[in-house]
Each structure stands twice: as C-alpha cells, then as structure tokens.
Amino acid sequence: MDVIAGHELSGRVAIGLAKPDLSLFSHRGLITVADMQLRVLLVVSLLIMACLSASPSLAASPEQEKEFTDKYKTAFEANDTATLESLLYTKGADPTVLEFYKMMLTQEAGGKISKIELVELSAEDTKKAEQIQDGPGGTKLRLPLKPIKKLKISLQANDANGSSSSTSETFVAESDGKLVIPVPVPVK
C-alpha cells in the first residue's frame, strides 16, 4: 500500500513525494493534472464545435435565401404590404422606428425590382450593425438580432418623364429558422 500526501492508495507507485501533489482522486483512483487538462481541452473543443455549428452565418441555406428574396420581390411588385411587413422582426421594436421601417419597406411597393440579392456582410457592415445608434427623441437603438446578410434591392422606373433607378440595402438576420429584417430596439 502506497501513501501520497497522507492518502493511502492501492496499486499506485508514488514518485516525487517532495513536490506538491497536484493530483485529484476520483472513484477510480488518481487523476493527474495532465488528465484534467486533456479533459478540459476536449470539453472546450466540443463547445467550440457546437457554437460554430449553431453560428448564424451558417443558418441560412441557399434555398432559404432564394425563398426570402422571391417572397420579398413577389410581395413588393404586387404591392402586398402585409407580406412585406411580415418579413420584419418586430419583437421589442421602438414603435416610431417600426412605423418608419414599414413606411420605407412599402414606400415604392408596386414598382419593378430589377435586381434583388442577399450579399455577405463586409467588415464595415458588421461593425455598423453592432453600433448603438441615435433614435427619435434621443433614444439609443441597436439591432435585436445579429445580421447574417444584407438585402440589396435595385429598382428601375420608366415613365413619360424619363427613367430613374435606386438602390437600397438593409440588414437581414435569422430568427427561428426564418430570414427576417430586424427592426432596431431601445438599448436597455
């Protein structure tokens, strides 16, 4: 029977008793610091993999993106404001900002979209999306969801007075497996 730091062990050889004992005991015997480090590394690795697999940037499939842009384009060109507004993520949204988003979303509805696409966020876009912004009445606002893409829409209009074109962009996020346009919420 061996003795390490006053503890009896059966079937273990104690080497270097003069050094501080950094071992722990489990129901199966001695667990060394190296064993603990290996276990912690394994747990951390599994957590990182779980976080990466649940990352918002991986959430939207090409099919989901196409469904979102098709739904937006169809609703916009048909002047279907109810469907356009259903694409907004409004949980906790500031009422004034929500009305502004609805107005901007439907302002030119009924027109012809010449190009619609979801594009990757640039580093500048990501930084902008994370910033706290000034809202109406001096309120501070932020996006409630982390954007994963940017919706870029180009409109082309031709009439008797000539032609005009415009491009608009807005952030798109994922919520409950659906792509949505997040409406800013007050900072708490």
pLDDT in tens, 74-117: 999 999 999 999 999 999 999 999 999 999 999 889 989 999 99
- C-alpha distances (whole Å) from 12 to each of 3, 25, 36 are 9, 12, 18
pLDDT at position 108 is 87
What stretches of 120-175 adopt beta strand conformation (E)?
133-134, 140-142, 149-159, 162-175
Q: Which of 18-22, 43-47, 67-71, 97-101 has the lowest mean pLDDT?
A: 18-22
Tell which residue, 186, 141, 172, 181, has the closest CA to residue 56: 172
* Rounded Cα–Cα distance for residues 47 and 26 (Å): 24
Q: Which CATH architecture has domain 59-186?
A: Roll (3.10)
Domain boundaries, the chain: 2-54, 59-186
User: Residue 54: pLDDT above 60?
Assistant: no
